[in-house]
Amino acid sequence: MKSSYKSIFLTACGGNKYDDAIDDVISQYKEHKGNDTEINIKRENAIVRVYEGGKYIQFAFYMPDNSSRELTTFKYYEKLGDKYEKMTDMPGNGENDRLGLSRKTPDYEEAKGKETKLEE
């Protein structure tokens, strides 16, 4: 008698369901900004927050050590259809935005490429 079964393997590879979206918006910003910056425009040098199931992504980059500020201004992207577009008229300090995101707990947050644990 021959028996067959299916196995499901789950691996913890450090990924999350927002990886592609985060990579996309940072890539868009890097393309927009170009090389005319002293800021390291990489995910590993950013603080990233994802809201409303991936509809909104907010991020800022850490400034060089010799800077007077810790972070650049925050950037906001909104998912429209299957693409993310940069939002305008949003606060650079990441507070009191017109959508109320600063008063919500993000669905996902990472700093310098590492997921941060959020309190509910």
Domain locations along the chain: 19-115
Instruction: Count how many Cα atoms sit within 13 Å of the Cα of residue 70 in the half-sphere of its side chain.
Output: 5
The mean pLDDT of 81-92, rounded to a whole number, is 95
**Domain 19-115, CATH:** 3.10.450
This prediction has a pTM of 0.83
What is the β-pairing status of strands 75-80 and 108-111?
A: unpaired
Strand locations in 1-120, DSSP E? 46-51, 56-61, 75-80, 83-86, 108-111, 114-115
* Per-residue pLDDT reduced to its tens digit, 54-66: 999 999 999 998 8
- Tell me what pLDDT residue 120 has: 58
Q: Specify burial of residue 32 (Cβ count, 10 A radius: 0-12, 13-18, 19+).
A: exposed
